[in-house]
Amino acid sequence: MLTRTVKVHKIGNSKGVIIPPAWLDQLTGNKAVQNIELVMRTEGSVIIIEPLLKPRQGWAKAAIKAHARGDDSLLIPDVFEDEKIE
């Protein structure tokens, strides 16, 4: 866990803190991140900042990898015996 003391700065009508680049790298896993979206929430007296994960983000790449490994086969048959039309 990283710990650092920071100062709160006035930014217009709001307040802000500087987030060290290494912390953003840890959140996003990307060294060249700019204009990323983060989710901020509070739990009691703690402010929690997390990367915004968009729905289905990375699913296409994961599906390609699963197919390459053969992990995309059906777990149950798509047609059951009593559903077959003759």
Instruction: Tell whether 16 is covered by a domain.
Output: yes
Beta-bridge partner residues of 43: 46
The better pLDDT of the pair 64, 76 is held by: 64
Beta-bridge partner residues of 41: 48
pTM recorded for the entire structure: 0.50
Which domain range does residue 30 map to? 9-77
Instruction: Tell whether 85 is covered by a domain.
Output: no
Instruction: Tell whether 67 is covered by a domain.
Output: yes
Instruction: Tell whether 20 is covered by a domain.
Output: yes
Angstrom distance (rounded) from CA 28 to CA 80 = 44
CB 51 within 8 A of CB 27: yes
Number of domains in the chain: 1
pLDDT one-digit tens code per residue, 13-70? 999 998 888 887 777 676 566 677 888 999 999 998 887 777 777 889 999 999 999 9
Q: Which of 57, 50, 52 is nearest to 23 (CA)?
A: 50
Angstrom distance (rounded) from CA 49 to CA 41 = 7
Q: What is the pLDDT of residue 44?
A: 95
